[in-house]
Amino acid sequence: MKKQLTILTLFVLAVCAFAFPSCKKDESDEIETLKKEALEQYADIVLASYEDSYNTAVALKKKIDEFVATPTNTNFQACKDAWLAARIPYGQTEAYRFYGGPIDDADGPEGLINAWPMDENFIDYVNSEPGAGLINDPVQFPDITKQVLADLNESISEESIFTGYHAIEFLLWGQDLYTGGPGQRPYTDFVTGAGGTADNQARRGEYLKVVADLLLENLVSVRDEWETNGAYRQQFLNNTETKIALGHIFTALGELSKGELSGERMFVAVDTKDQENEHSCFSDNTLTDIKMNFLGLKNVYFGKYEKVDGTTLSGRSFSEITERIDRAKADAVSAAFTDAQAKINLIPVPFDQTIVNNPGPVLEAIDALRDLSDRLADAGTAIGAEF
């Protein structure tokens, strides 16, 4: 009887020895498939959000053209509303930066699209200098063209911003010299002839149109790289090792949540108590910017994106894969997202007054975002990201 049991035991052990490696290989193959599916979903989300960014910028350009042709207060407000709407999708795309993708590689247009903080007197008059800026210098700059603005952008200093969303923002709102709201540039700054305020109204309108054209040109260049047959998308999905692609993505999530969002965009503003260091200082849209940047982090990790038309892209996510590999780390990331969301929602508006008079909620949100960055790094390591 003992001999029979021994033979049976040896048989079971032999079967397990062959079966377990096979099972492990099957599981490894399955997880690799899930990772590739999540990378495909990531690329789809990137494309959809850049499409939305481009389309809302097209709507903004249309309103700008209508306003410059017929400068009324109603048309001016329509431009502002369109600018605010355009910031919603673009703010979410910030989660695709920081790894040398098409937005910020050596030739990437990020600095032409969203650079800040800006010294506004490079563009137009400011409170202390009524003749400041390119707009008021037709001798040195007789022609306002896309090439002129692109060449000048960041050529003098990091704050010599001539292009992008924030140049448009300044032209629409003007300096924010007020504690109760955003800048109050009058629409009459663009009215030529009787009733016009400031000088060079026609040049100001031309600048506004040209800078909007340049924004569209740069947005479409990035969007096209992520199209189904786009050059970068093909490289990212087909020619880049999975672990390296994951490393790019989790590097971006970590850098946005800690270095850029909680650091440059929030802590610097609190530390200096200077509204010039808030992201959208002319329009007082900074808190929305912060919320959209945070939403971009969520989109990437949880594999979902709500388009501006209300439809939702949903697919394989990095959160699912993390749960499969290390449930404790997945739970920690989810908890960190919940905590950061709650604390960002507690930041009062306007942001420029909060950083001066009530910085506590901002500092708490900063700490939560830094913790989120660490938890995302843990998740990335768990699923095999190569940093």
Give me the domains of the chain, ranges plus CATH numbers.
Answer: 35-382 (1.20.1420.20)
pLDDT score for 275: 86
- Which residues have a Cβ under 8 Å from the Cβ of 147 and sit 6 or more positions away? none
Tell me the pLDDT tens digit for each residue of 190-203. 999 999 999 999 99
pLDDT score for 24: 61
pLDDT score for 23: 56
Residues of the chain whose pLDDT is less than 50? 1-5, 7-19
Do the beta carbons of residue 283 and residue 173 sit within 8 Å?
yes
Of the candidates 316, 322, 351, 324, the residue with the CA atom closest to the CA atom of residue 335: 322
Token digits for 117? 């903080």
pLDDT score for 9: 47
pLDDT score for 22: 56
pLDDT score for 233: 98
